[in-house]
C-alpha cells in the first residue's frame, strides 16, 4: 500500500516508499539560500535513474541536479534536503523557488510514466505541498503555485521542452488526483491475486461497498479489470469469494 510521507528534521523524506539518500548528502551540485517555495517542477531524465542520472548529478563538471529522482519501478532517490535552504540546480531562474522531481523515461520522453512512478510522484508532491503550503493543483505559469513543468519557464529556465514531447506533462492531473487521495487518507491497493473483495474489506475492517465507492469517486469509472470482476460478481458468473485478478487497483482507507 501507499501512504503519506513525512519530512524529518534533517530534511530527509521518510515513509512508505523505497528511497535512497544521495552520498554525499546533499550532492555537491547545489547551493544554499532558498526560501518560500512556489511548488514542484516535473522533469524527465531522457535516460534512467541509475547509474546515469545519479552519476551525472554527482559529477563536479555537470553543474546540474534535482531534489528527487524517480525510477520506473517507483523507487526514489533524494539528492538534497527539504526545508534547509538547499537549492537544486534544475531550472536556472526557477531554482530558488521550485522543488524539482526528475522521472526516468528509458531515454524516450514519449514513454508515459509508469503506475509506480505516478504513485511515488504523488507521494512526493503531497508531502512537499503540505510542508511548503502550496496547493495541490496543476500550474503552467511560473507565477502560479502548484505542480508545473520545466518548459513553462521558457528561456529564463533554459528554454527546454522537458518533460515532453510526450504524455508526461498531462499525467500531472493523475498525480494530483492521487496526491489528493493520499491526503484524504486513501491509498492505492494492488491485488496480488490472493484476496477477494470481501476478504480485503474484512482485512481493512470496512465494507466492500465503501471500497467500491472510494475507487469510483477517485477514478471516475472503474478500470476494465475491476469492472469485469464486479460485474461478474453481480451477474453471478463470479463467486463473491473468488480472488480478484492480480494487478487490479482499488482505493482503500489508509490502515
Which pLDDT does position 181 carry in this prediction?
A: 93
For residue 248, whether the previous peptide bond is cis, meaning omega lies within 30 degrees of 0, is no
Which pLDDT does position 1 carry in this prediction?
A: 57
Task: Give the three-state DSSP class for 101.
Answer: strand
Task: Give the three-state DSSP class for 254.
Answer: coil
d(CA 254, CA 2): 8
Q: Which of the 8 DSSP states describes residue 188? A: E
Q: Which of the 8 DSSP states describes residue 56? A: H
Asked if residue 14 lies in contact with residue 5, where contact means CB atoms within 8 angstroms, the answer is yes
Asked if residue 67 lies in contact with residue 125, where contact means CB atoms within 8 angstroms, the answer is no
d(CA 41, CA 99): 6
Asked if residue 92 lies in contact with residue 33, where contact means CB atoms within 8 angstroms, the answer is no
Q: Which of the 8 DSSP states describes residue 244? A: P
Asked if residue 204 lies in contact with residue 255, where contact means CB atoms within 8 angstroms, the answer is yes
Its pTM stands at: 0.86
pLDDT along the chain (255 residues), means of 10: 90 97 98 97 98 97 97 98 98 98 98 96 98 98 98 98 97 96 90 95 93 87 91 92 93 84
Q: Report domain extents, the chain.
A: 6-182, 185-253
Asked if residue 91 lies in contact with residue 150, where contact means CB atoms within 8 angstroms, the answer is yes
DSSP H or E run through 190: strand 186-190
Which pLDDT does position 2 carry in this prediction?
A: 76
Burial annotation 117-138 (CB, 10 A radius, 16+ → b, else e): bbbbbbbbbbbbbbbbebebbb
d(CA 118, CA 120): 6
Question: Could you identify the residue written with the cell 482485512?
Answer: 203
Query: Which of these, 225, 229, 226, 223, lies nearest to 242 by C-alpha position?
Result: 229
> Would you say domain 6-182 falls under CATH 3.40.80.10?
yes
Beta bridge partners of 7: 13
d(CA 174, CA 122): 8
Amino acid at each position: 500500500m501507499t501512504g503519506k510521507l513525512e519530512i524529518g528534521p534533517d530534511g530527509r523524506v521518510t515513509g512508505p516508499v523505497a528511497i535512497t539518500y544521495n552520498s554525499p548528502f546533499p550532492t555537491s551540485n547545489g547551493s544554499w539560500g532558498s526560501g518560500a517555495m512556489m511548488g514542484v517542477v516535473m522533469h524527465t531524465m531522457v535516460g534512467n535513474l541509475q547509474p546515469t542520472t545519479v552519476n551525472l548529478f554527482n559529477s563536479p563538471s555537470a553543474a546540474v541536479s534535482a531534489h528527487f529522482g524517480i525510477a520506473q519501478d517507483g523507487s526514489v532517490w533524494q539528492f538534497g534536503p527539504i526545508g534547509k535552504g538547499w537549492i537544486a540546480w534544475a531550472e536556472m531562474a526557477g531554482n530558488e523557488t521550485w522543488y524539482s522531481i526528475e522521472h526516468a523515461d528509458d531515454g524516450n520522453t514519449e514513454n508515459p510514466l509508469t503506475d509506480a512512478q505516478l504513485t511515488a510522484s504523488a507521494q512526493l508532491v503531497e508531502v512537499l505541498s503540505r510542508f511548503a503550503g502550496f496547493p495541490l493543483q496543476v500550474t503552467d505559469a511560473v507565477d502560479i503555485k502548484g505542480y508545473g513543468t520545466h518548459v513553462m519557464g521558457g528561456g529564463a529556465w533554459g528554454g527546454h521542452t522537458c518533460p515532453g514531447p510526450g504524455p508526461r506533462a498531462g499525467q500531472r492531473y493523475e498525480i494530483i488526483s492521487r496526491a489528493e487521495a493520499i491526503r484524504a487518507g486513501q491509498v492505492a491497493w494492488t491485488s496480488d491475486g490472493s484476496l477477494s473483495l470481501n476478504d480485503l474489506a474484512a482485512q481493512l475492517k470496512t465494507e466492500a461497498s465503501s471500497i467500491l465507492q472510494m475507487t469510483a469517486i477517485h477514478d471516475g469509472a472503474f478500470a476494465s479489470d475491476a469492472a469485469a470482476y464486479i460485474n461478474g460478481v453481480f451477474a453471478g458468473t463470479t463467486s463473491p469469494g473468488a480472488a480478484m485478478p492480480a494487478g487490479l487497483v482499488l482505493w482503500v482507507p489508509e490502515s
